Each structure stands twice: as C-alpha cells, then as structure tokens.
Amino acid sequence: MARVAREMVEKAGVDIDHLVELLVKNAAAELTTYYYYTILRVNLIGMDGEGIKEIAEVARVEDRNHFEALVPRIYELGGKLPDDMKTFHDASACPPASLPADPTNVTSMLNVLVEAERCAVRGYTYICNMTAGKDHRTYDLALAILNEEIEHESWFSEFLGEGPSGHFMRRGETSPFVSKFLR
Amino acid sequence: MGKRCFTEEELRGYNGENGAPAYIAFEGRVYDVTRSFLWQHGRHQALHTAGTDLTAALSEAPHGADLLEDFPVIGLLIETG
C-alpha cells in the first residue's frame, strides 16, 4: 500500500473505500469482458462476422490491458482482489457479455459488444468525476481507460449504423492511451 | 388490477438482502430489479441500496432513467409525510 498516497486522496475528500470497491468492480468487468469477448470473437465467422472480428479482437486485448493497469492502483490504495474467481466475476461492474442465442446474427453480436462498452463508458466517467482534482493518479488512469472505451463504443456503434466513429482502426499497437500504465 | 402502493418504510423491506426481493423507487414508481446482475444482494455499483427511493440519486448517475425501462413496475410509492 502507498500509505501517504492514500492519505492524500482521503484528505482531498474522496471516499476511498467506495473508490477502491469501484476499481475492483471495474477490474472484474475488464477481465470478465476479456473472457466473454474471447467467445464472441471466435464466433464471429462468415461473411458478416469476419468483418468485425478484428475490431472485437482489439477491444478484447485492450480490455485485458485495462485489467492489468487497474490492479496496481487497487493495491496502492490499500485494496485487494478477491481470493475467489467466482466472487470476482459476480462483483463485476458490468453484466456478462454473453454470447447471444443466435451467434450468426451479427447485429445481436454487435449489440452485446456495444452494450458492454457503454457500461464501461458510464463506469469510468463516474470514476473520473469522482476523482477529478482530488486523486490525480486514479483520474489519469480512469481517463486513459475511458478514452479507449469510448473508441470501442464508437467502432461497434458505427457497425450498427448509428453513425460514423470518426476515426480509424488501430495501426499496429494496442492501447494508445493506457500503454503508459503497462510499462 | 391496480398497482400495489408502498410506503417508504414498506419499501425498505425489499432491500435484496437475505433472499428478499430488490425493489427501488423512481419518480413515484416502484421497480423490481431483483433479477438484475447489477443489483445483486440489493447493491448497485458500491453506492446504492435497494429498498430506497433513488429519484434524487439518478440525477448524479452516469446513466439516464431509460435503463429502468428494462424492469417491471410493480407498484407506486406513496408519500406518508
């Protein structure tokens, strides 16, 4: 635990137990989403499915990166991950991104993907609002993750015909915003 | 059939703990969120508890009231004050 760092956050007026619980819940969401996206990705097949497989893969890998980036901050603030994986799964800040009944229906697959990203966008926006100007390190981390979640949402939204994402796919490396926390 | 009416005190009993259903109120309507993954054990995002009126809290939430549309309205909250 980073004792003084924790004290600074508490003195700034952040309910640190609440914050740590939210970070654990969002770490659970990231790791479980990584798992569920693995299943979604392997089922994205055929003429339509192949078209979004790569984008789902990038989101999958970046969600795992988000988990990796969140864990150190949880422990710095005096928190911990649950010992039991089932407990961790059920504590997720977002519902399971389960395979839809008809995996060949690409619209159904996209709806699962976009709803998972929207849940994440809501969660990190809340954490940013909670820590802005008070807990600089958590804010910086949550903002970096938020940037990537917003891009994921816009990619899937574009495929659903809701409007252009406004940007290109990744060019090579993943996690352009979060990678600084992974070094 | 008319909706069941809940006082705030009655609503507090539906807090999702120890197998109790999880009900929440918003703008006078009472919603059953028992089946929601995000309301397990009557808690939501480490902040909110079932059995309460969340009308004021929703204005601070990172989502709108539209997310409540997925849940059945099972009654009305009546003011007793």
**Residue B48 sits in which domain range?**
4-77
Is A150's Cβ below 8 Å from some Cβ in B?
A: no
DSSP assignment of A157-178 equals: HHHTTS---SSPPP-S-S-TTT
Contact between A18 and B63 using a beta-carbon 8 Å cutoff: no
Model confidence over B47-68: pLDDT tens digits? 899 999 999 999 888 899 999 9
**Residue A87 sits in which domain range?**
3-181
Q: Give me the helices (H) in chain B, please.
A: 8-12, 55-58
Quick one: tokens of B65? 């009231």
What is the residue-level pLDDT of chain A in tens, covering all 183 positions?
A: 889 999 999 999 999 999 999 999 999 999 999 999 999 999 999 999 999 999 999 999 999 999 999 999 999 999 999 999 999 999 999 999 999 999 999 999 999 999 999 999 999 999 999 999 999 999 999 999 999 999 999 999 999 999 999 988 888 899 999 999 998
Report pTM: 0.91
Q: State how many domains chain B has.
A: 1
Quick one: tokens of A128? 């940013």
Q: State how many domains chain A has.
A: 1
Helix orientation angle between A136-159 and A46-76, rounded to the nearest 10 degrees: 170
Contact between A126 and B40 using a beta-carbon 8 Å cutoff: no
Interface confidence, given as ipTM, is 0.80
**CATH value at residue A177:** 1.20.1260.10
Q: How far apart are CA B5 and CA B81, in angstroms?
A: 15
Q: Write down the pLDDT at residue B80.
A: 72
Instruction: Determine the residue among B40, B43, B47 to mutate to test chain A binding: the one whose Cβ has the most chain A Cβ atoms within 10 Å.
Output: B47
Phi, psi (degrees; rounded to nearest 5) at A157: -60, -40
β-sheet bridge partners, residue A47 = none
β-sheet bridge partners, residue B31 = B24, B73
Model confidence over B8-47: pLDDT tens digits? 999 999 999 999 999 999 999 999 999 999 999 999 998 8
Which is it for strands B43-44 and B29-32: parallel, antiparallel or unpaired?
unpaired
Contacts of B36 (CB under 8 A, 6+ apart): B22, B70, B71
Model confidence over A4-56: pLDDT tens digits? 999 999 999 999 999 999 999 999 999 999 999 999 999 999 999 999 999 99
Model confidence over A13-27: pLDDT tens digits? 999 999 999 999 999
Instruction: Determine the residue among A21, A77, A98, A149 to mutate to test chain B binding: the one whose Cβ has the most chain B Cβ atoms within 10 Å.
Output: A21
Residues B4 and B76 sit within 8 Å (Cβ to Cβ): yes
| pLDDT for B81 beyond 70 | no
Place of tokens 């989403």: A33
| pLDDT for B74 beyond 90 | yes
**CATH value at residue B71:** 3.10.120.10
Phi, psi (degrees; rounded to nearest 5) at B44: -130, 120
Q: Write down the pLDDT at residue B60.
A: 86
